[in-house]
Amino acid sequence: MTKYRLHIDGDWVDPDSGEWLDTVDPYRGEPWARIARGNSEDVSRAVAAADRAMTVGPWASMSPSERGRIMRNIGDVIAKNAQRLAEIEVRDNGKLFAEMSGQLASISACWYYYAGLADKIQGASIPAEKQNVFAFTTREPIGVVAALTAWNSPLWFVAVKCAPALAAGCAVVVKPSEFASASTLEFAGLLKEAGLPDGVFNVVTGLGPEAGAALVDHADVAKITFTGSDTTGTRIYESAARTMKRVSLELGGKSPNIVFDDADLDAAAGGVVAGIFGAAGQMCSAGSRLLVHNSIKDGFTEKLLGLARGVRLGDPMDPHTNVGPIATPPQYQKVLDYIDIAKTEGARCVLGGRPAGGPGLTGGQFVEPTILVDVTNGMRIAQEEVFGPVLSVIGFEDEEEAVRIGNGVAYGLVAGVWTQSIGRALRMSKALRVGTVWVNTYRTYSYMVPFGGVKRSGIGREQGVEAVNEYLETKSVMISTDEDAPPNNFVMR
């Protein structure tokens, strides 16, 4: 079994605890690697290394263009190692190789994108109304960044958090999910080849309440960027408040995929099925509530059933597989529990609803693609994030009701709208309280387009040009140009 040590200050080091955690291949149900169980001592070493790197190390004195050049090298080493990194991600989280290898191409491009931004971060000179004062702003790196990531797309999260942070001149300490840390460590191992100075990118693995909490609480961390559940996000937000850290939180969702009667129903059915059964539903953006116009509800549900019955479960490395296993045992149990809860609440299961078994599925935790009807928006199954292949079907009468139901949850991450009417698409986009609206498409991501949630889905935006602002502070400088100015006389000037 591969044994992964911590990556601190450019070195591989053993954890202070001397303890190791198994990392399990969810398809085979067997441990395949061991990761270090980091603790607060390891976190302190990593934060100190990051702090040195960005204040007195070569990263601090490097020109922004030189930093950008190194970040382009990082894009290159990712591209060169994409196949291997994608395979490691599949081993760790059970997602399809087809998806992870596609994602790796975007990850490399994302590093190039932020590399290009590194030397375009500028302040402003301000023609202030004051006489004899020259005023300007500078944009300074915010400080050491703690990046805490979820297991479902580890290197994507590293890219959308760390590339803008590095472009801003920060150094980072990453705490990947204990369920999928290997690809982040493999990535760290490539950074010397890219020319990244030691200490700029550190990885402390371990358990959330140990290594994760220690990182969040550390006095020398200035900014926390987190992707994960809203429960952990709330805890982190509370803890960050005590030390006034800046936070970005990318949390969960209960997203509506809304199908109108004027939609291209074949395209919509494909989008709905992929939007909930893709990645076995283990995506923050899962379209877990299908809102469908009452006039087409029965026919459209039949169409979905036809498509969903054809979904192939199996080995995530097999290009013919559509849906892989659920990544972790607790998550597997949670999905099955939610199906039971839904039935108790009065929902009717018209597809799936059980663990899936059979040839090729024996080692892993598979759940049948599940469709529930007779769901009302007040039920727990319509309100709470399942993070599994479970779709709830809810009817609506008109746009107003679709908006009311769509917005009628605590979350606000994404929404899908399927319609041929441009006017309706624009009205719905405006009315839905979410961070992203996808019209006649679903799960379409670009590192160039901002992504993030409102309400319980989080705070801040990742991706796009504006993400770099999450890692910068503005400093104002005001200089007197009047050499004969009287000294300050106790009155605000």
Nearer to ligand NAD, 70 or 173 (CB): 173
Q: Is 149 in the site for ligand NAD (CB under 6 A)?
A: yes
Q: Name the residue with the smallest CB distance to ligand NAD.
A: 208
CB 268 within 8 A of CB 283: no
Taking CB under 6 A as the rule, which mask of x and - marks residues 413-442 in contact with ligand NAD? x-----------------------------
By the 10 Å C-beta count (0-12 exposed, 13-18 middle, 19+ buried), 140 is classed as: middle
Residue 217 CB, shortest distance to ligand NAD, in Å, is 9
Rounded to an integer, what distance in angstroms lies between the CA atom of residue 311 and that of residue 320? 10
Kindly state the smallest distance separating residue 138's Cβ from ligand NAD, in Å.
Answer: 31
Residues 446-485 that bind ligand NAD (CB under 6 A): 453, 458
Closest CA to 242 of 260, 264, 224: 224
Taking each continuous run of H as one helix and of E as one strand, the counts in the chain are 16, 25
**Residue 236 binds ligand NAD, judged by CB under 6 A:** yes
Identify whether the C-beta of residue 77 lies closer than 8 Å to the C-beta of residue 190.
yes
The residue ranges of DSSP E strands in 302-409, in sequence order, are 348-351, 355-356, 366-367, 370-373, 390-396
Q: How far apart are CA 322 and CA 312, in angstroms?
A: 5
Q: What single letter denotes the amino acid at residue 1?
A: M
Partner residues linked to 417 by β-bridges: 258, 439
Known catalytic residue: 284?
A: yes
Q: Does 208 bind ligand NAD (CB under 6 A)?
A: yes
Which one, 232 or 419, has the nearer CB to ligand NAD?
Answer: 232
Residue 146 vs 472, nearer CB to ligand NAD: 146
Point out which span in 46-54, 249-257, 289-297, 476-484 binds ligand NAD (CB under 6 A).
249-257
Min CB(360)–ligand NAD separation in Å: 26
Give the neighbor-by-neighbor strand order of the sheet with 20-25: 2-4, 30-36, 20-25
Question: Locate tokens 């192939």: which residue?
Answer: 312
* Spatial separation of the C-alpha atoms in residues 14 and 18, rounded to whole Å: 7
349 carries an active-site annotation: no
- Provide the minimum distance between the beta carbon of 131 and ligand NAD in the complex, in angstroms, as a whole number: 49
387 binds ligand NAD (CB under 6 A): yes
Decide: is 148 part of the binding site for ligand NAD (CB under 6 A).
Answer: yes
Catalytic residue among 178, 284, 385, 462: 284
User: Which positions are annotated as active-site residues?
Assistant: 250, 284
List residues binding ligand NAD (CB under 6 A): 148-152, 175-178, 208-209, 212-213, 216, 227-229, 232, 235-236, 250-253, 284, 385, 387, 413, 453, 458
